[in-house]
Amino acid sequence: MSSAVTIPVSAVAGTAQLTSDYSNVPASVTFAAGTVLNASGIATQAFTVTIVNDNISEPTENYTVSIGTPTGPALLGTTTSQITTINDNDFATVAITPTVSVGEANGPATFTVTLTGAVQNAFTVTYSTANGTATAGSDYTGSTNATISFPANSASGAIQTISIPVINDNIAEADETFTVTLNGTSIGTQVTIPAATSTGTATIIDNDRPVATLSGDATVTEGTNAVANYTVTLTGAANTTLSSAVTIPVSAVARGNECCCQLYRNAYRSCEYHFEFSGYHSCIGCCGYCSANKRLQQCTCKCNICCWYGA
């Protein structure tokens, strides 16, 4: 070529945007004067456009590069543009709170759904509840394929909440559970839900359990068919229903080893003293001491339990 040829270059945004997705588009390319076409009648001039490696999960995007009418001894051909597609390499995830607890009267049960990784487009997450020991309709309000929404340009760490109403009944029951599972997102592979963080469990803490108290005879006189009477009382809110049988263990606990030795015949004071003060806290201990001590061989001991409230 006898003189230089300059060809203007431009790029038009499609779904990809200049600066945020691509940059450094040259204004033109120039073939210098004296450029010789090869044996096939071709000369080439390469240029590049920089693709921005961001950290945003986004769909496949594109832009179009075009050339304009050359200046110099050259004409514009029929193939003057090229669409370029950018495949994204950033992926985000969402995760639900693994466990929450809520008082039956303090609902709802609230789960947090957390986004890891920035996302360009708005999207929704679907979720459903499932019974554990709690039952939808009687213990909580169930949901099937309900949704929460994240807005466009959500940053990593953004959160949305799922609130499940809890029913405050009048039934005394054990603490009960149900689960919330994230089913999927509206933008497919851009935002995924790892299986390990897809399900959260809520525990409903019952508020209807009555309180058990004991009352009974403080004293009783021994005799034929003598008994001591006791009553166990459950006290709670009016009209409370027990969901299952309640068993309350009963035990008798000693009030100390209250017993006495009655010594017969030659009642040596040393035996009484040993029983009361030396650490023998049973009648058997006292009598054992009395019979074992050679100095008390003339002493015949007999234990008489005066009162015994247990070991």
Beta-bridge mates of residue 264: 300
47 plus 131 within the same structural domain: no
List pLDDT tens digits, range 241-261. Answer: 666 677 878 777 644 333 334
Q: How far apart are CA 307 and CA 171, in angstroms?
A: 44
166 plus 79 within the same structural domain: no
73 plus 123 within the same structural domain: no
Instruction: Return the number of other C-beta atoms located less than 10 Å from residue 46's C-beta.
Output: 5
Is the pTM higher than 0.85? The answer reads no
Is 77 contained in some domain?
Answer: yes
Q: How far apart are CA 304 and CA 262, in angstroms?
A: 6
34 plus 131 within the same structural domain: no
Q: What angle do CA 92, 65, 76 make, to 5 degrees?
A: 170
Q: In what order do the strands lie in the sheet with 176-185?
A: 99-103, 199-205, 176-185, 123-131, 146-150
Longest Cα–Cα distance of the chain, Å, equals: 148
Both tokens of 256, joined, read 């100390």
Label residue 237 by pLDDT band (50, 70, 90).
low
Task: Check residue 256 and give its pLDDT.
Answer: 38
101 plus 188 within the same structural domain: yes
Is 242 contained in some domain?
Answer: no
Q: How far apart are CA 5 and CA 164, in angstroms?
A: 70
Which residue, 68, 86, 104, sits at the end of a domain? Answer: 86
Helix (H) or strand (E) holding 10: strand 5-13
Question: Rounded mean pLDDT of 29-40?
Answer: 92
194 plus 100 within the same structural domain: yes
pLDDT of 149 higher than 90 = yes
Helix (H) or strand (E) holding 278: none
List pLDDT tens digits, range 282-302. Answer: 444 444 444 444 443 334 443
65 plus 132 within the same structural domain: no
> Which CATH number covers residue 112?
2.60.40.2030
Percentage of residues in the chain with pLDDT exceeding 70?
A: 77
Which residue, 69, 86, 103, sits at the end of a domain? Answer: 86
Average pLDDT score, the chain:
81
115 plus 56 within the same structural domain: no
Beta-bridge mates of residue 184: 126
Assess whether the previous peptide bond of 26 is cis (omega < 30° from 0): no
Task: Check residue 240 and give its pLDDT.
Answer: 64
Is 38 contained in some domain?
Answer: yes
Query: Tokens 């110099």 identify what position?
Result: 72
116: CB partners within 8 A, 6+ apart: 92, 93, 94, 95, 156, 157
157 plus 176 within the same structural domain: yes
Beta-bridge mates of residue 82: 65
Which structural domain range is residue 162 located in? 92-205
Nearest to 83 by CA among 100, 66, 101, 60: 66
Length of the chain: 311
Question: Rounded mean pLDDT of 111-117?
Answer: 97
Structure-model confidence comparison of residues 220 and 276, the more confident one:
220
Structure-model confidence comparison of residues 52 and 234, the more confident one:
52
Which residue, 34, 52, 86, sits at the end of a domain? Answer: 86
Q: How far apart are CA 81 and CA 11, in angstroms?
A: 9
Question: Rounded mean pLDDT of 181-199?
Answer: 95
Is 210 contained in some domain?
Answer: no
First to last CA, the chain: 118
Task: Check residue 231 and give its pLDDT.
Answer: 84
List pLDDT tens digits, range 36-95. Answer: 999 998 999 999 999 999 989 999 999 999 999 999 999 999 999 999 999 998 899 999
Question: Rounded mean pLDDT of 272-278?
Answer: 39
Question: Rounded mean pLDDT of 14-25?
Answer: 94
Task: Check residue 233 and give its pLDDT.
Answer: 78
Q: In what order do the strands lie in the sheet with 81-86?
A: 28-31, 5-13, 61-67, 81-86
Task: Check residue 308 and give its pLDDT.
Answer: 30
Task: Check residue 156 and give its pLDDT.
Answer: 96
DSSP category for residue 71: B
72 plus 102 within the same structural domain: no
Residue 302: strand, helix, or coil: strand
Label residue 278 by pLDDT band (50, 70, 90).
very low
pLDDT of 33 higher than 60 = yes
Task: Check residue 238 and give its pLDDT.
Answer: 63
61 plus 114 within the same structural domain: no
Task: Check residue 234 and give its pLDDT.
Answer: 74
Is 162 contained in some domain?
Answer: yes
Question: Rounded mean pLDDT of 263-270?
Answer: 38
Q: How far apart are CA 50 and CA 267, in angstroms?
A: 112
Structure-model confidence comparison of residues 135 and 172, the more confident one:
135
46 plus 16 within the same structural domain: yes
Q: How many independent structural domains does the chain possess?
A: 3
Is 157 contained in some domain?
Answer: yes
pLDDT of 264 higher than 70 = no
